Amino acid sequence: MVNMTKLKHAISETSPAATKATAYVIGVKADGAKSALAHSSLDAKFLASINLESLGVSSALGKTTKVSGQSSSVVLLIGLGPAKDLDSFRFIGGVAARELGAAEHVVIDVPLKSAAETLAVFEGFLLGNYDFQNYKSKPVKRHLAKLTIVSKSKPKPEELSEIETVVSAVHACRDLVNQPANDLYPEVMTQHAKKASKNLPIKIKVWEEKDLVAAGLGGIHAVGKGSSRPPRLVKLEYKPAGAKVSLALVGKGITFDTGGLSLKPAESMVGMKYDMTGAAAVMQALVAIATLGIKVKATAWLCLAENMPSGSATRPNDIIKIRNGKTVEVLNTDAEGRLVLADGLSMAVEESPDYLIDVATLTGAATIALGNRYAGLMGDEAAVEKVEKASDSVGELVWHMPLPEELRPLLDSDIADIANVKIGNRAGGMLIGGLFLREFVGADQAKKPAWAHLDIAGPANNDSAAYGHTPKGATGVTVRTLIQLARDLAN
């Protein structure tokens, strides 16, 4: 990963002088049917010499063309599009970072009308300045050392610092998710949680395999017992003085998912190292919340297991008991995420948080319904509204989905309280996953927390080309939303 601490940054009212180590980012806007250069502080005579039409330069958001600049510098012409919202500026910053990693000094000189737009470009650039090469024998060197944003609207230094903290959490999440399962399994994930919490006001508690059994955490134990790498439950707790609202975050942490005895097809197993994205996201969000000193009591529950087939694995038709006492008939061992989350949700509910959010790469049905960029959002109206507001603030895409009561009988079991799937019925798979989880967020309506479920199966991993500030591979999705949610609740 790029070491962000080495990237110096400055906000300046004018562009610095050109050198061969400098790359400039100049905006291209629509001018009727043609494209035109947006205002910048670069030399007017040089800018006038650029023939946009002959170069085929586009004003579409994020479209780029490189040209030679003065003193052997590089100029990146970038389409500004309509630029109607802050995420457009994040997008522009991200493209600049990805395109200009070979430069030592990047200067972004596009029209910025407010400190918020300046911050958005800064955030997008930092998010885009990521390249996971830990396993390359000959990694491609990135020379980037400094970023200058040309703007008369200067943010406060603490605002820039907060963005660095948030982006650092996103990058840390991406790093964890990109690791292969032979290097990242429940025990190692636990070590990462301990290391990330060090020197922060975070208490950590770990339930190892014997503790899971003793505590009645039958879901996590059942999913993980087929692996030679035992399961874990990890709790991170942050309790600042003066906090008036409590937020519990529960993350699915399946470090690899073969499907268990309900074995996946070979091609469907590729990418299943990403099945712990929910746990990585809630962990890094909690670390950032504590680092920023946000006044909200926050806990993160990491439900960690490796789902493997073996002689000790859970079988179809086995019945397990979840922490809250409900029994589950396991009809498909590949619907394992909801089993570990059931325990995590039950544990979180026992502490009576005000808000309870779970994050999981839960169902392939979410991708079929919403594609690869939207997370499915389900739950109680109060929590759903808060998550929608937070996600909109940071530019992450969620879509509110229903929890239809007529689908709940599909999970009825003849011999247990509930089944984990309906065999042979693929209708509404994402919604049925949400309905299953709802069974574990508390029966007492007066006492249950406001709950929301985020199914991030689509956006957790980008297996297509990078775009904006989103890299290929792990995206770190929902980390920024969860941090913003904590901010909103604290305020």
Within 231-319, where are the H helices? 266-269, 277-292
Q: Give the tokens for residue 51.
A: 């023939």
Q: Give the tokens for residue 81.
A: 């599009």
Per the residue annotation, which of 264, 295, 373, 472 is the catalytic one?
A: 264
Q: Please report the sign of the dihedral spanned by the C-alpha atoms of residue 193, residue 198, residue 200, residue 206.
A: positive
Per the residue annotation, which of 252, 297, 338, 422 is the catalytic one?
A: 338
Catalytic residue flag (residue 323) = no
Grouping H, G, I as helix, E, B as strand and the rest as coil, residue 225 is: coil
490/477 Cα distance (integer angstroms): 22
CA distances from 472 to 136, 443, 449, 465, 468 (A): 15, 41, 36, 6, 11
Pairing of strands 22-31, 74-79: parallel
Catalytic residue flag (residue 338) = yes
Secondary structure of 77-137 as H, E, C letters: EEECCCCCCHHHHHHHHHHHHHHCCCCCEEEEECCCCCHHHHHHHHHHHHHHCCCCCCCCC
For residues 24 and 69, the answer to whether their CB atoms sit within 8 Å is yes
Grouping H, G, I as helix, E, B as strand and the rest as coil, residue 199 is: coil
For residues 190 and 232, the answer to whether their CB atoms sit within 8 Å is yes
Grouping H, G, I as helix, E, B as strand and the rest as coil, residue 312 is: coil
| Main-chain phi, psi angles of 167, to 5 degrees | -65, -35
The closest alpha carbon to 79, from 65, 94, 58, 93, belongs to 58
Q: Please report the sign of the dihedral spanned by the C-alpha atoms of residue 329, residue 333, residue 338, residue 340.
A: positive
Chain-centre distance of CA 360, in angstroms? 10
Q: Please, which residues bridge with residue 257 across strands?
A: 307
Q: Give the tokens for residue 356.
A: 């309870």
Number of neighbours of residue 110 by Cβ within 10 angstroms: 24
For residues 76 and 99, the answer to whether their CB atoms sit within 8 Å is yes
For the residues of 369-399, what is the DSSP string, one character each? HHTTTPEEEEE-HHHHHHHHHHHHHHT--EE
The conformational region for residue 427 under phi > 0 = left, psi -120 to 50 = alpha, else beta, is: beta
Q: Is 267 exposed, middle or buried (0-12, 13-18, 19+ CB in 10 A)?
A: exposed
Catalytic positions, please?
264, 338
